[in-house]
């Protein structure tokens, strides 16, 4: 199969095949997590305007409009090939953070980013062959409906106006990838030394905007699953306004003023 044929078959057939495969009698001893995944998530979800993951602080585009900082730029490794057979990364902006819950015990949750992606064609994306600089036409969008990605797969980018006085570039942005707060650049010599590599569990938190189920407190998730308690540290941005809630009988929401 060609890459294009495989991608079409995957999107059209995999979900049905996976569900039928798990339900076969010969697969009774499958991992219970696989069975829960095949059953699909619950129809009610939690949505949020911010999320901490992979050393990045992400916010949605709606939150960025009310903030002095911009943290909605996202990038993910793509599977679309360009003319030179280089894999094109997807660049876009975060619209919504969705927390899906799967049936069964213990509770299993998955965090998805709902994103809008910029056009990957030559009219929407340009890559400098010498310096590998990525430029994007922010007025063009990816035509295929494929907005959701796993939060654990996303890195953060910052978009700035294209550095040119050429009017043909007025709608173009330059994409700059951001280093994660937890990442430290080391030399080749240091990375190959016999010193023990430091490890620590990364804890991620989420900030609520509105909910569709009756959970009053924000969920604090551990990468391995479950709920953990986290104390606020001193690294929170001073630009972030306080979180306020608006309680009503018809709608339960929390937003940034």
| Residue 198: per-residue pLDDT | 46
| Residue 37: per-residue pLDDT | 85
| Residue 26: per-residue pLDDT | 81
164 found inside a domain: yes
| Residue 85: per-residue pLDDT | 47
* Helical packing angle, 32-39 and 3-22, nearest 10°: 110
| Residue 227: per-residue pLDDT | 46
Same domain, 74 and 121: yes
d(CA 46, CA 62): 17
Same domain, 25 and 122: no
Could you list the beta-strand ranges (E) of the chain.
Answer: 46-53, 56-59, 73-81, 87-102, 108-117, 125-127, 134-137, 148-150, 155-161, 172-177, 204-211, 220-221, 243-246, 253-256
Same domain, 110 and 32: no
Same domain, 15 and 94: no
Complete DSSP assignment for 80-99: EE-TTSPEEEEEEEEEEEEE
> Of 141, 173, 140, which is closest to residue 157 (Cα–Cα)?
173
243 found inside a domain: no
Same domain, 135 and 92: yes
Number of structural domains in the chain: 2
pLDDT digits (tens, 9 = 90+) for 197-241: 444 445 455 555 544 443 444 444 445 544 444 455 555 455 554
149 found inside a domain: yes
Considering only CA atoms, give the Rg of the chain: 21
Whether a cis peptide bond, with omega within 30° of 0, leads into 139 is: no
| Residue 63: per-residue pLDDT | 92
Same domain, 50 and 150: yes
- Domain span including residue 34: 1-40
Query: In this predicted model, which residue has the larger pLDDT, 185 or 151?
Result: 151
Same domain, 62 and 166: yes
- Residues of the chain with pLDDT > 70, as a percent, come to 67
What is the SS3 assignment for 127? strand
Contact in structure between 253 and 209 (CB atoms under 8 Å): yes
pTM: 0.64
What is the SS3 assignment for 235? coil
255 found inside a domain: no
| Residue 115: per-residue pLDDT | 96
Same domain, 52 and 146: yes
Same domain, 58 and 162: yes
Tell me the pLDDT band of 86, cut-offs 50, 70 and 90: low
> Of 109, 93, 160, which is closest to residue 133 (Cα–Cα)?
160
Same domain, 166 and 45: yes
Same domain, 63 and 51: yes
| Residue 207: per-residue pLDDT | 56
Same domain, 4 and 84: no
60 found inside a domain: yes
């Amino acid at each position: 199969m060609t890459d294009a044929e495989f991608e079409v078959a995957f999107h059209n057939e995999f979900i049905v095949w996976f569900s039928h495969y798990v339900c076969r009698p010969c697969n009774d001893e499958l991992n219970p997590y696989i069975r829960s995944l095949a059953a699909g998530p619950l129809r009610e979800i939690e949505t949020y305007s911010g999320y901490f993951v992979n050393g990045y602080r992400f916010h949605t585009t709606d939150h960025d409009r009310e903030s002095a900082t911009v943290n909605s730029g996202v990038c993910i490794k793509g599977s679309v090939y360009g003319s030179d057979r280089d894999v094109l990364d997807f660049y876009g902006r975060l619209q919504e953070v969705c927390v899906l819950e799967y049936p069964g015990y213990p509770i299993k949750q998955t965090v998805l980013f709902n994103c809008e992606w910029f056009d990957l064609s030559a009219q929407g994306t340009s890559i400098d062959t010498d310096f590998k600089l990525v430029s994007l036409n922010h007025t063009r969008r990816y035509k295929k409906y494929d907005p959701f990605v796993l939060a654990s797969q996303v890195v953060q980018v910052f978009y700035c106006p294209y550095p040119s006085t050429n009017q043909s570039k007025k709608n173009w942005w330059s994409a700059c990838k951001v280093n994660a707060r937890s990442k430290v650049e080391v030399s080749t010599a240091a990375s190959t030394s016999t010193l023990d590599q430091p490890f620590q569990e990364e804890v991620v938190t989420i900030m609520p905007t509105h909910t569709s189920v009756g959970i009053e407190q924000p969920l604090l998730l551990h990468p391995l699953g479950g709920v953990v308690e986290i104390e606020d540290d001193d690294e929170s941005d001073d630009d972030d306004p306080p979180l306020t809630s608006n309680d009503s009988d018809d709608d339960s929401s929390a937003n940034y003023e």
